[in-house]
Amino acid sequence: MKIVLDRVNVMRDNFSLTAHGEFSDGVHLVSGAVGSGKSTLALAIANVLPLESGSISRCGIESMMLSLQFPEYQVTGLTLADECFSWGCEPAEIFLSSEIQGKEHQSPFTLSRGELKQLHLSCVLNKHYDLLLLDELFSSMDCEKKQKFCSRLSQRTKSITIIFTHEQAILPKVDRIWEIIDGVLHDRGVPPAAIERWCGAPPFIKKLVASGKTPRNISLNEVLEAACRT
């Protein structure tokens, strides 16, 4: 499975984004500052935004899901149980993993945005998609939940998972790092070499790289291991 972006150009109002590269099986991180065009790229790959020029080829991809930044925009059920069904999931297994048992008959809007995001991600990650696009998946979540979803993401090796985020603290183990700077998508390559080329890396990772302790990957465990390295 792979997605090939061939000299893609997307326009959104006055903003222009250019992307060229190939996304294969594994977890990809697309980082960039707020307003850099991450959501625009996610929408373009999901075939929601029309391309100005270039093309996107999807090889071997039969199922795709885009998780939007704000979970309330993807709510279509009147109750939490309906919402789980709308994702094709059994409420019982979702409620076990998202810690909101006993609220099956409540409206999704009785939850806080963080809880709703948690439910939304539990439903999304519960299903297999050949291509999974996660736009700002860590927004509105506490550190504990971020860690929990990071470990779930690391298990997705037989599909393409692309994470679009400006998160600087807790990140999952990834197979490739990409970066959007000034409206252009840059391929930084495979970790650990990619970490040294990553301009928008979190400050503590940059500090580790500067002191010659480049972590093997960007997950918290690997960063801690590098920090404790003598």
Among 48, 59, 210, 224, binds another protein (CB under 8 A): 48
> Which of 75, 163, 205, 223 is close enough to bind another protein by CB under 8 A?
75
Q: Give the single-character DSSP code of 114.
A: H
**Does 164 participate in binding another protein (rule CB under 8 A)?**
no
Give the number of other Cβ atoms within 10 Å of residue 153's Cβ: 21
Q: Tell me, by CB under 8 A, how many residues bind another protein.
A: 18
CA distance 34 to 126: 28
88-95 — which CB contacts under 8 Å span 24+ positions? 88/127, 89/123, 89/126, 89/127, 93/126, 94/119, 94/122, 94/123, 94/126
CB of 158 to another protein, least distance (A): 21
Answer yes or no whether residue 149 interacts with another protein by CB under 8 A. Answer: no
The reply on whether position 106 binds another protein by CB under 8 A is no
Cβ count within 10 A of residue 73: 8
In whole angstroms, the minimum distance from the beta carbon of 116 to another protein comes to: 12
Decide: is 112 part of the binding site for another protein (CB under 8 A): no
Binding site for another protein (CB under 8 A): 46, 48, 65-66, 68, 72-78, 82, 86-88, 107, 109
